[in-house]
């Protein structure tokens, strides 16, 4: 299997910093990478590792961001309901040089056709509006085959040719053994990317105006090598309103953004719906080739980055990016069956706790009311206090998900569904077979890695 990402050997440790950080700094000295530029902009040389970890002024961050170029990479498989909104919101970004690469992962719907048409339309609009010009690919075909692990050897455009601002790729097929579809699609786009930063974002996202330059500014200001946002979640229908706040409140409790962003703490996480990473750092840790078999490739990549001594920044993306992650109960059932046992390793225990919590929340209020009406003395006060504590703890935890009032109110009804999905996910991973978007992955029961497709 030929890898899209060049292999990177681990260099000897520098006396002034970690091996990985020293390696990227040396690469910057040779290629003019953003890492070297960051060091020079702060007035420090390669030896000052702390300069990257410290905050810089907002003015310097704005200046750095304006000088950078971003490659936005969007993998898409059967996303005809979403790709139009996502691509429009990206193509309309202002204030920073960028290119857009859409990778069609062999969709069976109109995903590629919609992306193709939007790129053509925006090309005409941009000439008058001074936005980035859109070019489908250097040869004018609807598809530019990705640099392949499967015998396709179309190289990226030569450096002498003006870089295309938008490219529509087709992911290599068949899917190589040991690779997830998303990792394969993302990796195939990187050789065409020419940005100092790579933004991996899902096709079901919508990006606020100005969010791209703002994200790069924030990453530069905080010295982040990987900056990830958890998008604001859009929900429709009863079950989406009930379930999603429960899950995201658990995620906010398990992966606290402050801890993830703290270099002194080992916990690492990222959300693949919005993952911005310095290209030099991405290559230094091995890129998606290093996490090819991970069903949660975003978290796995974040662990590699933080483990190599680089800095993470992770926070809620409200006002920057939003998404409707799943449409209806069927999609939620499939998606969370794939993910929950990996996000919460003690899934069975958590399911039991949340089901017990549901019983307590249901039983205590009427019990307290009955005791109050029966004037049972101290018992009525004890039951009332217990009900208040149980509901108070639940509502405080749910608020961490930052959903609207309706969703927070209905989240109580999502507890049994969450518990059942936890058990279903744990069972699927024990059996070693997980389905996602028309593909069946055989997974190791002890890990998130796949063994075959």
Same domain for 103 and 147?
yes
- Domain of residue 430: give its range: 340-452
Domain boundary, last residue among 328, 361, 388:
328
Return the residue matching tokens 């309901």: 81
Q: What is the mean pLDDT of residues 294-307?
A: 96
What pLDDT sits at residue 96?
92
Q: What is the mean pLDDT of residues 229-251?
A: 95
pLDDT tier, 58 (very low <50, low <70, confident <90, very high otherwise): low
pLDDT tier, 121 (very low <50, low <70, confident <90, very high otherwise): confident
Summarize pLDDT for 394-407 with one digit per residue, the tens. Answer: 999 998 888 988 88
Summarize pLDDT for 433-448 with one digit per residue, the tens. Answer: 888 888 888 877 544 5
Which has the minimum average pLDDT: 125-134, 220-229, 370-379, 391-400? 125-134
Same domain for 41 and 133?
yes
Same domain for 348 and 398?
yes
Residue 12 lies in a domain: no
pLDDT tier, 85 (very low <50, low <70, confident <90, very high otherwise): very high
Residue 431 lies in a domain: yes
Same domain for 143 and 265?
yes
Same domain for 298 and 424?
no
Domain boundary, last residue among 274, 305, 328:
328
Q: What is the mean pLDDT of residues 191-202?
A: 95
Q: What is the mean pLDDT of residues 378-405?
A: 90
Residue 2 lies in a domain: no
What pLDDT sits at residue 285?
97
Q: What is the mean pLDDT of residues 178-186?
A: 94
Domain boundary, last residue among 328, 349, 380:
328
Same domain for 261 and 357?
no
Query: By percentage, how much of the chain surpasses pLDDT 90?
Result: 59
pLDDT tier, 25 (very low <50, low <70, confident <90, very high otherwise): very low
CATH number at 199 reads 3.90.550.10
Asked whether the predicted pLDDT for residue 32 surpasses 50, the reply is no
3-state secondary structure the chain: CCCCCCCCCCCCCECCECHHHHHHHHHHHHHCCHHHHHHHHCCCCCCCCHHHHCCCCHHHHHHHHHHCEEEEEEEECCCCCCHHHHHHHHHCCCCCEEEEEEEECCCCCCHHHHHHHHHHHHHHHHHHHCCCCCCCCCCCCCCEECCCCCCCCCCCCCCCCCCCCEEEEECCCCCCCCCCHHHHHHHHHHHHCCCCEEEEECCCEEECCCHHHHHHHHHHHCCCCEEEEECEECCCHHHHHHHHHHHHHHHHHHCCHHHHCCCCCCCCCCCCCEEEEEHHHHHHCCHHHHHCCECCHHHHHHHHHHHCCCCEEEEECCCCEEECCCCHHHHHHHHHHHHHHHHCCCHHHHHHHHHHHHHHHHHHHHHHHHHHHCCCCHHHHHHHHHHHHHHHHHHHHHHCCCCCHHHHHHHHHHHHHHHHHHHHHHHHHHHCEEEECCEEEEECCCCCEEEEC
Same domain for 300 and 439?
no
Asked whether the predicted pLDDT for residue 33 surpasses 50, the reply is no
Count of the separate structural domains present in the chain: 2
Same domain for 61 and 124?
yes
pLDDT tier, 62 (very low <50, low <70, confident <90, very high otherwise): low
Same domain for 181 and 212?
yes
Residue 65 lies in a domain: yes
Residue 334 lies in a domain: no
Same domain for 318 and 362?
no
What pLDDT sits at residue 326?
93
Q: What is the mean pLDDT of residues 249-254?
A: 93
Q: What is the mean pLDDT of residues 260-278?
A: 96
- 22 versus 212: the higher-pLDDT residue is 212
Summarize pLDDT for 146-178 with one digit per residue, the tens. Answer: 433 332 333 444 443 333 478 899 998 888 888
Asked whether the predicted pLDDT for residue 361 surpasses 60, the reply is yes
Residue 333 lies in a domain: no
Summarize pLDDT for 201-214 with one digit per residue, the tens. Answer: 999 999 999 999 99
- 368 versus 7: the higher-pLDDT residue is 368
pLDDT tier, 130 (very low <50, low <70, confident <90, very high otherwise): very low
Same domain for 183 and 79?
yes
CA dihedral 206, 210, 213, 214 (to 10 degrees): -90
Residue 387 lies in a domain: yes
Residue 14 lies in a domain: no
Identify whether 260 is preceded by a cis peptide bond (ω within 30 of 0): no
Same domain for 192 and 309?
yes
């Amino acid at each position: 299997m030929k890898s899209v990402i060049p292999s990177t050997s681990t260099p000897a440790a520098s006396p002034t910093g970690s091996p990985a950080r020293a390696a990227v700094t040396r690469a910057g000295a040779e290629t003019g990478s953003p890492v070297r530029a960051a060091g020079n902009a702060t007035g420090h040389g390669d030896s000052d590792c702390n300069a990257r970890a410290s905050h810089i002024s907002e003015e310097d961050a704005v200046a750095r961001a304006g000088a950078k170029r971003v490659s936005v990479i969007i993998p898409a498989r059967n996303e005809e309901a979403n790709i139009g909104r996502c691509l429009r919101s990206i193509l309309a970004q202002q204030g920073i040089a960028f290119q857009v690469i859409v990778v069609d992962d062999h969709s069976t719907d109109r995903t590629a056709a919609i992306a193709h048409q939007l790129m053509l339309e925006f090309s005409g609009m941009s000439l008058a509006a001074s936005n980035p010009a859109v070019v489908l690919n250097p040869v004018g075909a609807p598809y530019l085959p990705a640099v392949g692990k499967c015998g396709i050897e179309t190289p990226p455009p030569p450096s002498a040719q003006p870089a295309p601002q938008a490219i529509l790729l087709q992911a290599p097929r068949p899917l190589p053994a040991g690779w997830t579809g998303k990792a394969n699609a993302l990796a195939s786009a990187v050789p065409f990317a020419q940005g100092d930063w790579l933004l991996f974002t899902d096709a079901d996202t919508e990006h606020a105006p100005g969010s791209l330059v703002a994200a790069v500014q924030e990453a530069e200001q905080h010295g982040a090598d990987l900056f990830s946002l958890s998008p604001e979640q859009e929900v429709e229908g009863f079950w989406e309103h009930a379930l999603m706040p429960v899950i995201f409140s658990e995620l906010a409790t398990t992966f606290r953004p402050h801890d993830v962003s703290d270099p002194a703490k080992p916990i690492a996480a990222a959300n693949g719906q919005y993952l911005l990473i310095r290209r030099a750092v991405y290559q230094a840790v091995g890129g998606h080739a290093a996490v090819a078999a991970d069903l949660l490739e975003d978290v796995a990549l974040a662990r590699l980055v933080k483990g190599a001594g680089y800095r993470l920044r992770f926070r809620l993306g409200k006002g920057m990016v939003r998404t409707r992650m799943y449409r209806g109960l069927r999609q939620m059932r499939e998606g969370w069956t794939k993910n929950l046992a990996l996000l919460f390793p003690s899934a069975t225990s958590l399911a039991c706790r949340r089901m017990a919590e549901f019983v307590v929340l249901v039983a205590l209020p009427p019990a307290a009311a009955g005791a109050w009406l029966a004037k049972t003395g101290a018992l009525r006060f004890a039951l009332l206090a217990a009900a208040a504590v149980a509901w108070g703890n639940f509502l405080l935890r749910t608020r961490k998900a930052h959903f609207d009032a309706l969703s927070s109110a209905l989240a109580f009804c999502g507890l049994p569904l969450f518990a059942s999905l936890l058990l279903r996910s744990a069972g699927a991973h024990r059996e070693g077979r997980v389905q996602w978007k028309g593909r069946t992955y055989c997974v190791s029961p002890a890990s998130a890695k796949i063994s075959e497709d």
